[in-house]
């Protein structure tokens, strides 16, 4: 751990470039590594950032850890709230942030040295609504660097059209909120917030960011280490809700943009449906009761299945019209193996 900087010996910067928002729920095992990877950024000659630790009603030692780091480092601010879920904690962080740009980090992940300095310089040279990055996925037995071709892609200017093409067509990780650094002004001007009570809320968040953003820059550096398949992870243990929430999020976005025939809206809707069809293929992992919920949700949102990005999905749509969603999903599962 780095030497502490007493709060009363250092004033907050009048200009705050980054607000780093970290929701915390029962993460005492991983939290120190996450926080210390951020504190070390200060030794890399960047001072204009704040770290917001949002304790979301943790029942382990996470609250004490948040308060300890708050007492030790001037740029860290701990907040405690009743449990409301990941989206609620992120929204709480947004409401209490002061930076020009928002960075979301999961409390079981960590970042590389010099990352914030790199992003600070890039945004100072070319301010933008969104800075797109890439993720490194850390599995128990392997590490995967996603989107390695992004650096080559960035050799040409990242226009709005090319940014959307990258995010919605080429990127291996379209939706994670942690891969995009977003202008605070863009968020407030468009009143964008995370959907409460939903899994895969990043899909809704990123879709709305892409709908509203006009300017983009990118960075292909390896910086964010995303811990995968962690024991106890919500998204790895819940099956039926993973599917129903993905369908509901797509349904909500389709309803909101039903009169928008722009290339941007069509591209996002098409990418959303790729996620929906992928989730439907997991129906076989669900209990019978969960399967009933999924079929009901599909029926309630059947309008979204007018979009079929690929021949096998067109077969699914035709089958759904002729023999109903349950049998159609079974056919889709067999096609996908």
pLDDT class for 113, splitting at 50, 70, 90? Answer: very high
Mean pLDDT of 309-316: 88
Long-range own/partner contacts, residues 318-326 (CB < 8 A, 24 or more apart): 325/295, 325/298, 325/299, 326/291, 326/295
Res. 120: pLDDT tops 90: yes
Confidence of residue 16 (pLDDT cuts 50, 70, 90): confident
> Distances in Å between the alpha carbon of 247 and those of 147, 169, 271, 286, 331?
26, 20, 13, 15, 18
- For 251-257, what is the mean pLDDT? 97
What pLDDT digit, counting tens, does each position of 123-180 carry? 999 999 999 999 999 999 999 999 999 999 999 999 999 999 999 999 999 999 999 9
CA distance 285 to 8: 54
Residue 117 has pLDDT above 80, yes or no: yes
In b/e form, how buried is each residue of 106-138, taking b as 16+ CB within 10 angstroms? bbbbbbbebbbebbbebbeeeebbbbbbbbbbb
Give the mean pLDDT of the chain.
91
**pLDDT value for 237:** 58
CATH superfamily of 7-234: Spore Coat Polysaccharide Biosynthesis Protein SpsA; Chain A (3.90.550.10)
Domain ranges of the chain: 7-234, 238-336
């Amino acid at each position: 751990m780095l030497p502490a900087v007493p709060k009363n010996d250092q004033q907050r910067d009048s200009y705050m470039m980054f607000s780093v928002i970290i929701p915390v729920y029962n993460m005492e095992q991983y939290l120190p590594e996450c926080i210390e990877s951020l504190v070390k950024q200060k030794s890399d000659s960047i001072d204009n950032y704040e770290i917001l630790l949002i304790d979301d009603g943790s029942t382990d030692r996470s609250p004490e850890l948040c308060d300890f780091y708050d007492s030790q480092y001037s740029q860290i601010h701990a907040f405690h709230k009743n449990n409301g879920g990941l989206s609620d904690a992120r929204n709480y962080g947004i409401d209490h942030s002061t930076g020009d740009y928002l960075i979301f980090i999961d409390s079981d992940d960590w970042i590389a040295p010099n990352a914030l300095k790199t992003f600070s310089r890039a945004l100072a040279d070319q301010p933008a609504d969104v800075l797109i990055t890439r993720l490194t996925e850390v599995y128990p037995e392997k590490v995967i660097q996603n989107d390695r071709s992004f650096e080559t892609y960035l050799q040409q200017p990242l226009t709005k059209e090319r940014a959307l093409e990258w995010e919605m067509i080429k990127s291996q990780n379209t939706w994670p909120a942690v891969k995009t650094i977003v202008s605070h002004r863009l968020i407030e001007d468009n009143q964008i917030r995370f959907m409460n009570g939903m899994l895969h809320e990043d899909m809704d968040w990123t879709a709305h960011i892409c709908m509203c953003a006009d300017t983009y820059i990118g960075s292909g550096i390896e910086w964010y280490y995303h811990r995968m398949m962690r024991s106890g992870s919500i998204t790895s243990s819940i099956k039926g809700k993973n599917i129903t929430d993905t369908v509901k999020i797509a349904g909500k976005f389709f309803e909101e943009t039903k009169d928008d025939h722009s290339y941007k809206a069509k591209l996002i809707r098409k990418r959303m449906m790729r996620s929906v069809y992928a989730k439907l293929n997991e129906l076989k992992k669900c209990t019978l009761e969960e399967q009933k919920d999924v079929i009901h949700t599909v029926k309630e949102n059947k309008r979204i299945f007018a979009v079929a990005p690929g021949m096998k999905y067109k077969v699914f749509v035709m089958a759904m019209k002729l023999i109903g969603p349950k049998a159609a999903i079974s056919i889709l599962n067999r096609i996908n193996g």
